[in-house]
Amino acid sequence: MKDNPVIFIKELSEQDRPFMLNHFLGLSASDRRLRFGAVLPDEAITRYVNGIDFSRDTVFGVYESTYNLVGVGHLAFLDPVALPALDGSRSDRIAEFGVSVSAPMRRKNVGTKLFDRATLHCRNNHVDTLYIHCLASNKPMLCIAEKAGMKIHKDHGEVDGYLHLPSLDPDSLRKESAEERVASLDYALNGRMRDIVRWLRKLGLSEKAVPSSNRSSDSV
């Protein structure tokens, strides 16, 4: 069985919005239903992507070497009063997590890695509870949630999940900082390689003239 690719999680910003739109528009009808709870048309997806406020929410992504986003995790910071509580308690700060992964990258831990990064980011930003809401038929999301130890409540075909998080510590801060630096470096190196390939094409040379990297073409 082929090994899973190395996955780098990068925090996204305004410049990534067009790539995010391409990612979501590339989801099939069934994938859109699992991600958004309904089969959203292209116009609604465009409004969703254009409406993301990067100064309020945090979005993480996994890029292929071709600059295609193959995974997106969206952390939206919420008012805890508006959410149901499983045990009668309320959280001081809560964030909702939603994730989507392109079909070719399924079963390669992309969704799990995005969830782990979101959890780390929440801890380091004093968020004490991570929340998910999805359809009960969303087995990949439920698998991630159960593996993480979330408290799960199912009702009328929908699921609410809560994960109470530990406080930040020096290790969590160092880990997230290191992950972001590595992902940013990988992104920059792939961008430089893309520029070289474009330059070779202008000269009429083959892309094979570029030395291959250690990463396979399907890695992220």
Cα 55 to Cα 32: distance, rounded to the nearest angstrom: 25
pLDDT band at 191 (very low <50, low <70, confident <90, very high): low
Is the pLDDT at 106 greater than 50, yes or no? yes
CA 65 from chain centre, in angstroms, equals 16
Under DSSP, the state recorded for 94 is E
- Main-chain phi, psi angles of 41, to 5 degrees: -75, 170
Q: What is the mean pLDDT of the chain?
A: 85
Q: In angstroms, what CA-CA distances link 92 with 46, 81, 122, 150, 200?
A: 32, 9, 12, 18, 54
* Superfamily of structural domain 10-165: Gcn5-related N-acetyltransferase (GNAT) (3.40.630.30)
Predicted local distance difference test score (pLDDT) of residue 49: 98
Predicted local distance difference test score (pLDDT) of residue 22: 96
Is the pLDDT at 161 greater than 90, yes or no? yes
Predicted local distance difference test score (pLDDT) of residue 217: 31
Q: Is the pTM of this model over 0.75?
A: yes
Signed CA dihedral, 48, 52, 58, 62: sign only = positive
Q: In angstroms, what CA-CA distances link 12 with 9, 29, 133, 204, 218?
A: 9, 25, 22, 34, 21
Average pLDDT (175-203) is 73
